[in-house]
Structure 1
Amino acid sequence: MQASPDTHHLVVVGAGFGGLQLVRDLAGAGLRITLIDQRNHHLFQPLLYQVATTILATSEIAWPIRRLFRERADVTTLLAEVSGVDADGKRVLLADGGAQPYDTLVLATGARHSYFGRDEWETFAPGLKTLEDATTIRRRLLLAFEQAERETDPATRQALLTFAVIGAGPTGVELAGIIAELAKQILWREFRNIDTREARVLLIEAGARVLPAFPVSLSDYAQAALEKLGVEVLLGRPVSDIRADGVTIGTESVGCRTVVWAAGVAASPAAAWLGIAADRAGRASVDANLNAPGRPDIFVIGDTAALMTADGKPVPGIAPAAKQQGAHVAKVIRARLAGKTAPGPFRYRHQGNLATIGKSAAVVDLGWLQLRGWIAWWIWGIAHIFFLIGARSRVAVAWSWFWTFISGQHSARLITQGRKAPERKP
């Protein structure tokens, strides 16, 4: 039965990991919940790079939000873009001029790409945060090989067969490894005028090592595994320019037609909406209960929130952290509605860092245990399948990985974006 209009109204902005966990944990709490997102689907971002590199289809890592809550009469889903918050009037402002009143508000609006003040680079170097980003990158990758097959100029052909990934965190490492496998192990039998094994895959990192959040031993292993796949790892080499025809690394210009940005993110403008302090990445400063300062009716969670762990380090912008924050805020809201004492301050429980390098190697850092190689790859795969939504998605992803492993082929290599083919004249 649908909740009464007089019931306490919770508005949640963002259906990512944090927002989804929050709404799920508030089932049966006697609330009227409105969930607002600018897209109609929840996205499993940790596997987004596998859509970009032709391993998985979009439907295997994304689910319609309405379907997820079709049995929850207390949840109303709205497809809308939020443009601001009227905190004094207790309204969420929408880009189309509408507004959504609330009694309690949770902002779980995630992060976006950061080009460190060079936003013009986005045209030539898309990041990887949405399904649209993934399919755009996939299209550029596949078209580069198709165009190289027809190209007769050696310099232009080499530029088409050069792929640059900027940023050597988990996303950059995973992208570079799969692109190298695609070029050097999968596609070479299918072309006649080019040898895709001669493709260059560059992983460019301004810092001193790949996977800087991992222990040095795992970082060194990851670099060696990448180089074994044929990736050129360029460390301590910041990018100074990105153009349609290439990148400049320090003072060296490299012809390159496909560039992927994995170097930085910035929070959504939630802090600006609320007029509160933010850190250098734009994340809103919150108190120990994830409330905006001076606003007990407003919570900020996930990549949008700036919070420190017990040992003085920032809570990382990863899925487990967002889910833990969503669960904590659900407990706080339940306690307040029941007139009970709220739980203690939020405590982040680190569950480890994982990254994969190609289809048979990975690194896992659990703090008390560090693993690499084949066994780490299995742990990485099981962990990701476990967090997928629904048995169908788990089976589909497991099957895609199994097929890729035994056949050496990727199953999602369709070029589906771009200009519409001209209509034939009668």
Structure 2
Amino acid sequence: MPPFATIEDAIALGKHLRDCLQRATQSEDLHQKKTLLTFAILGAGRTGVELAATLADLLPDWYASLDGEITDIRVVIIQRGKEILKSDSDRLRQTAQDALQKRAVLVEIMLETAVIAVRPNIIVIKRNDQIEEITAATIIWTTGIVTNPLIDTLSIPEGGRDQQGRLKLTDTLELIDFPEVFAGGDCAVMEHPLPLTAQVAYQQGAAIAHNLQALSEGRSPIAAEIEMRGTLMKLGLNESVAELFDRYEVQGELGHLIRQAAYIELLPTLARNFKGTLEWISDELFQRCAGV
């Protein structure tokens, strides 16, 4: 069961997907073919939903180029809870759910389904008090957050971690038992927990840098102010949703352009911003025109 957390994971997954499709076109065993063309994603958080939507557009395109029948492809999300995107707004949840049903291949969503075991090419699940098995050559784990092993080695007094092992912080992002020691991102938690997203970690990093400079100049650190700017989600190859400041929602291709522009803006240097902008314009506009 491959993880999906790094660039290397994504590259390895891409190779695996192409291999499954290629083998499916060559297989005369119907059960094996069905297994090769079933793609299961465990977890319906943002990563799982984005991945499912992308695969549901991408895999049919790849398989059609191999003269495969795209209706044979099955993409399924397995979620223990009662809904997808449990930490997001109802509006965003509904938008994502609608988008999953409009992909080149419909995404099957299995809610209130517990994963009992994962074996080679088999997922054992429990739903409606019944034990079932799903055969899939591709099983991707996208749920659950585990802190870096380094965090586990730290000598933190009892009460200095939450139930997930994350470091508890003050409002200045200092460890509660160690003033002038700062932390942020997925390995830490404040009194009022924030979403485990890049925009939070990005702002925490800036706040930590400010407070480190303040300490070096003999000033006291100040409370971090994290502003939730909204949510950006990819919902297919050329479709995204942008929920801006939790008030306004922009969908479809315009949402996709907003998402792309936001990520370009976060690149660390002007030179990389310029290079990234050129590459993005080339990908989004020139290649699209070439396909007309």
**Equivalent position to 1:383, from 254, 262, 266:** 262
TM-score (norm 2): 0.87
SS in 2 for 1:323: helix
Are residues 1:213 and 2:87 paired?
Answer: yes
The equivalent of 1:257 in structure 2 is 137
- Of residues 268, 280, 289 in structure 1, which corresponds to 2:172? 289
Q: Hey, what's the Cα distance between the residues in 1 that align with 2:51 and 2:286?
A: 19
The answer to whether the 8 A contact 1:302-1:321 is kept is yes
User: Does residue 267 in structure 1 map to residue 147 in structure 2?
Assistant: yes
Greater helix percent: which structure? 2
- Partner of residue 226 from structure 2, selected from 345, 348, 354: 348
Query: 5 Å matches for 1:220-239?
Result: 220-229=94-103, 230-239=106-115
Which aligned pairs between 1:404-423 and structure 2 lie closer than 5 A? Answer: 405=288
Q: Residues 1-400 of structure 1 correspond to what in structure 2 (within 5 A)?
A: 124=1, 126-184=2-60, 186-192=61-67, 194-229=68-103, 230-250=106-126, 251-276=131-156, 277-308=160-191, 312=192, 314-342=193-221, 344-365=222-243, 366-389=245-268, 390=272, 391-400=274-283
Residues 1:156 and 1:407: Cα distance change in structure 2 (over 3 Å): farther
The answer (yes or no) to whether the contact 1:169–1:211 under 8 Å persists in 2 is yes
Q: 1:395/1:239 Cα in 2 relative to 1: closer, same or farther (>3 Å)?
A: farther
- Higher relative contact order structure (alpha carbons within 8 Å, sequence separation ≥ 6): 1
Distance in 2 (CA, whole Å) between partners of 1:210 and 1:405 is 32
User: How many Å separate the matches in 1 of 2:80 and 2:285?
Assistant: 35
**8 Å CA contact 2:161, 2:168 repeated in 1:** yes
What whole-Å deviation, never above 9, does each CA across 1:46-77 have from its counterpart, x for those lacking one? xxxxxxxxxxxxxxxxxxxxxxxxxxxxxxxx
Separation of aligned partners in 1, 2:13 and 2:3 = 8
1:403 Cα deviation (Å)? Answer: 6.2
TM-score calculated relative to the size of structure 1: 0.61
CA drift of 1:299 comes to 1.4
Once the two structures are TM-superposed, the CA of residue 200 in structure 1 deviates from its matched residue by 0.4
Larger radius of gyration: 1
CA separation of 1:173/1:405 partners in 2, compared to 1, >3 Å: closer, same or farther? farther
Deviation at 1:406, TM superposition (A): 5.2
One-letter amino acid of the counterpart of residue 187, structure 2 = T
TM-superposed CA distance for 1:127, in Å, is 2.0
User: Do 2:58 and 2:237's aligned partners in 1 also have CA atoms closer than 8 Å?
Assistant: no
Provide the C-alpha distance between the structure 2 equivalents of 1:128 and 1:257, rounded to a whole number of angstroms: 16
| Distance of 1:249 and 1:242 partners within structure 2 | 9
Give the Cα–Cα distance (whole angstroms) in 1 for the partners of residues 38 and 288 of structure 2.
Answer: 25
Quick one: percent identity of the two aligned structures? 28
Tell me, yes or no, if the aligned pair for 1:271 and 1:278 is still in contact at 8 Å.
Answer: no
Q: List gaps (5 residues or longer) in structure 2.
A: none
Aligned-pair RMSD on alpha carbons?
Answer: 2.1
The 2-side partners of 1:407 and 1:282 are apart by 51
Q: Distance in 1 between matches of 2:284 and 2:124?
A: 36
Structure 1, unaligned runs of 5 or more = 1-123, 409-426
Provide the rounded CA distance (Å) in 1 between the counterparts of 2:200 and 2:20. Answer: 37
The one-letter amino acid paired with 2:70 is T
Residue aligned with 1:127, SS: coil
Count of residues in Structure 1 that have an aligned counterpart in Structure 2: 277
